Amino acid sequence: MTFLIAVGSLVAICGILAVLLVIADRYLNDYGICKLIINKGAREEEVEGGSTLLNSLNSAGIFIPSACGGQGSCGLCKLKVHAGGPPVLPTEEPHLSADEVSSHVRLCCQLKVHEDMELEIPEELFNIREFNGTVESLTDLNHDIKRLRVALPAGEELDIIPGQYIQIETPAYKKTPEPVYRAYSIATDPLDKTHIDLVIRLVPGGICTTYVFEHMQTGQPIKLNGPYGDFRLTDTGKEMVFIAGGSGMAPFLSMLAHMKNEHSDRKVSYFFGARSKRDLICLEEMAAFEEALPNFKFIPCLSEPMPDDDWSGETGLVTDVMKRHCPDLSNMEAYLCGSPGMCDASVAALTANGMPEENIFFDKFA
């Protein structure tokens, strides 16, 4: 008898406590509808409180760049919160400088929306959308670079400015527990508004590129968002120098297509750095651009040509070749697509030949 009473009362006590906790949870975690006032009232969104600012903005159709899916590791989702957020969280601190903190910059994937908030979001982020495209084709450009062509869903169009990039989502596969996002420059002709072309180089041990090279199939769906970035051509008409290698060609493919559409007669020299002949890509396309654009010159430079490459073109480091071709850079502009380390090395070479630093542009996300 005591046994039954014991069990019964234990169950009853646990049950009552559980009910109390559920009620408390419902009451304490219900934040109601919160208003997000953006850019001093230029836009207002009403969202359900309780989730992160990043997710709340996403649900309102505003996409903030994020590569880590809200874990707080990439530091890309910064925007200004002027009112309504909690004090700076320990998970945000490593990513924010003292200046950023005093101007109210926050990581919106860490903040939770608990009340009305006043936000400041850069205008260009309003143009960013998410697309559910389809893989139209995957072509080999050389031994470790592929061109991925994605078709946008029927009826949807994307206006791009040559030089911008998008993010593609790699779904969970093999050893990866959740999707990841990686950024790639757009190589598409801007007049083609229903497709996105990307140039992707295999990175050993890379999550996204391994997926693209080993698992991606034509016809499969693919999620992308964008466009991002402010790397673009100026309209000064000055003579230009393009420097890139490997998959860095993507934005220039888009820029050259744009120049062809505009029948531009702007002078351009593109110095393409590679190791040996097998690392070159898109040679026919470059030849076609040279035909269509009389003032465009494509100059591939091989740093380690193999003996049987039979190479008669330029050799050596691409910055040295460029210095030989363009001794006076004082009235020219340079467009660089590569990692910041490479860009910095080029800046030194370019300024040494007289180019003012403000005429040098690079792809900032690299």
| CB-nearer residue toward other proteins: 177 or 219 | 177
| CB-nearer residue toward other proteins: 58 or 170 | 170
| CB-nearer residue toward other proteins: 172 or 287 | 172
| CB-nearer residue toward other proteins: 254 or 264 | 254
- CA distances from residue 318 to 11, 185, 345, 348 in whole angstroms, order as listed: 77, 21, 11, 13
- Smallest gap from Cβ 254 to other proteins, in A, equals 15
Tally DSSP H helices, then E strands, for the chain: 8, 17
| CB-nearer residue toward other proteins: 76 or 119 | 76
- CA distances from residue 170 to 77, 213, 216, 250 in whole angstroms, order as listed: 19, 12, 10, 20
Pairing between β-strand 180-185 and β-strand 239-245 as defined by DSSP bridges? unpaired
- Smallest gap from Cβ 48 to other proteins, in A, equals 16
| CB-nearer residue toward other proteins: 149 or 201 | 201
| CB-nearer residue toward other proteins: 24 or 42 | 24
- Smallest gap from Cβ 312 to other proteins, in A, equals 18
Residues 6+ apart with CB under 8 A from 42: none
Q: 48: which strand partners?
A: 33
Cross-sheet strand order for the sheet of 239-245: 314-315, 296-302, 268-274, 239-245, 332-337, 360-362
29 in Cβ contact with 112 (< 8 Å): no
Tokens standing for 330? 């004082």
Pairwise CA distance, residues 246 & 281, whole Å: 8
Pairwise CA distance, residues 170 & 259, whole Å: 32
- Kindly give the interhelix angle for 283-292 and 250-261, rounded to the nearest 10 degrees: 30
| CB-nearer residue toward other proteins: 102 or 294 | 102
Residue 153 DSSP code: P
Pairwise CA distance, residues 73 & 82, whole Å: 23
Q: Do you know the residue count of the chain? A: 366
- Kindly give the interhelix angle for 318-325 and 340-352, rounded to the nearest 10 degrees: 30
Collapse the DSSP code of 231 into the 3-class scheme (helix H, G, I; strand E, B; otherwise coil) and give the result.
coil
Residue 297 DSSP code: E
| CB-nearer residue toward other proteins: 179 or 356 | 179
